Structure 1
């Protein structure tokens, strides 16, 4: 009777060891996937931040160019007006 319990226990332990290693491998795979996803999300966030920053800088540059053109036109109008008088 005691030998049979030992055999069952031994089998269970072996089976549990196999399951534990499978679960450990799955856990490690999940952790690795989680880390990969975290890195991917971080890269996407940084890319979006840089795109937004670039868009803002581009918009600012375009606005500044527009203002300079308006100033140039106004100066030209003022110059023409002063030449007439």
Structure 2
């Protein structure tokens, strides 16, 4: 798992290329790579599958200032990722 953090002034999109570069360096190309970009107030998760032609997808944007309190979703995703890491 790769984590990219930026200051609040940076956009999530500005960090996407950098985290994908980290994720492409995964020494286990047969397994998906997971990443998270955090700006202090926003979080987004990234999944990369290498294969013949690398493909990635991103989650919804989670924000701490969202009135529905997305932090519960962020913690649920982090817990799931930790279980994946523990099984490998």
More strand by percentage: 2
Higher RCO (CA < 8 A, seq sep 6+): 2
Q: TM-score range by the shorter chain?
A: under 0.3
Question: When the two structures are superposed, what TM-score results if normalisation uses the length of structure 2?
Answer: 0.24
More helix by percentage: 1
Larger Rg: 1
